Amino acid sequence: MNTLRVFADFHNADPKGRVRLNCVGTIADLKRHGIMLQEGQSLIIYSEELEVDGVVHYSEEETLWTAMIDWNAIREVQPAVSQLPLI
């Protein structure tokens, strides 16, 4: 089974370096994929042309879901090319 991609804002990290999974784009992706977050769940976290593997953790301190990522493993991805006809 493929790991699902979920948007997150890489600038929205907690003091432990975990990316918070509470922005509008994240919530939209979770709903679109029908994902109910669970402790230890693997996701691909993306933002624009960047992505990284992440593991979901619940932050008791902030009472919200986060993703632990390896900041040194963020990779660039090619943006999707539009399928517009050539004129």
**Domain assignment present for 29:** yes
Which amino acid appears at position 40 of this protein?
Answer: G
Q: What confidence tens digit (pLDDT) does each residue in 47-70 have? A: 989 999 999 999 999 999 999 999
Q: What angle do CA 41, 43, 49 make, to 5 degrees?
A: 165
Q: Give the amino acid at 42.
A: S
Q: Is residue 83, in this structure, part of any structural domain at all?
A: no
The verdict on residue 85 lying in a domain is no
Find the mean pLDDT for residues 5-32: 96
Q: Which tens digit of pLDDT belongs to each residue from 30-39?
A: 999 999 999 9
Tell me the two tokens of residue 46: 């993306």
pLDDT the model gives residue 2: 77
Its pTM stands at 0.84
Number of domains in the chain: 1
Residue 84 lies in a domain: no
Looking at the domain assignment, is residue 86 inside a domain? no
Asked whether residue 59 is domain-assigned, the answer is yes
Say yes or no to pLDDT of 26 above 70: yes
**Contacting residues for 13 by C-beta, under 8 A, at least 6 apart:** 19, 20
Q: Does residue 81 lie in a domain region?
A: no
Cα–chain center distance at 7: 4
Closest CA to 57 of 39, 37, 36: 39
What range defines the domain where residue 40 resides? Answer: 5-76
